[in-house]
Amino acid sequence: RSSVPRMDIDHLFVSKSDIALDVLRSIQGAMNHYGYEIVDTLLTDLSPNPVVKASMNEINASKRMKESMVHRAEAEKTQQIKAAEALAEKLHLEGVGVAKQR
| Domains in the chain: boundaries | 1-47
Q: Name which of 25, 5, 16, 18 is nearest 43 in CA terms.
A: 16
pLDDT of res. 64: 96
Each residue of 22-74: pLDDT tens digit? 889 889 888 988 999 888 888 888 787 889 888 888 988 999 999 999 999 99
* Whether this model's pTM surpasses 0.75: no
